[in-house]
Structure 1
Amino acid sequence: MTASTVEIMNRGMKCLTEQMGIIEAERFISIIIREKFDYTKWQREYFDAKTPEEISREASQYEQSHPFPGNAVRL
């Protein structure tokens, strides 16, 4: 089931406010709107500047500091 636009926006705002706080989340949104931020272009430029080894190392570090608790459904 795909999420509606409202559900995605609500989840996004929840993530932003939990991680950044309401003030920084609002600033982030205003910067994105003002700068006409292109996330896809930014992501491409960000990853193009990294070697595969750097990406792998950063991903491993992230995984270690944010372990996935799982959400298996028991039958």
Structure 2
Amino acid sequence: MKTETEIRIAGMHALIGALGLVEAERFLMAVSRERFDYTEWRRHGLPDLPLDELTKLANLEAEKNTHLLNEQ
């Protein structure tokens, strides 16, 4: 099991890898300014799709992002 510090570091690496340093910072500032309820977002923020369809879409997006990162 990872420590909270390890999770935070991995999360920052993921954000920076996906968004770049400046956009990752902008994301963190936007989240910290807003009252963000993760539990509520999980209930209503995802598309109303069956789990297998949502998984397929998420995997396609991950593949697309992997290809974009490899091109850089």
Q: TM-score normalized by structure 1?
A: 0.67
Matched residues, number = 63
Q: TM-score normalized by structure 2?
A: 0.69
Which fold has the larger relative contact order, with Cα–Cα distance below 8 Å and residues 6 or more apart in sequence?
Answer: 2
Q: Which residue of 2 aligns with 1:34?
A: 33
C-alpha change, 1:30 and 1:56, in structure 2 (3 Å) is: same
Q: Give the unaligned 5+ runs of structure 2.
A: 64-72
Shift >6 Å, 4+ stretches:
none
Larger radius of gyration: 1
Q: Give the unaligned 5+ runs of structure 1.
A: 68-75
CA RMSD of aligned residues (A): 2.1
Bigger share in helix: 2
Deviation per CA, 1:13-51: give whole Å up to 9, x if none.
00000000011101111111110211221111123x513
User: In structure 1, what residue type is equivalent to 2:13?
Assistant: K
How many angstroms does 1:57 deviate by?
2.3
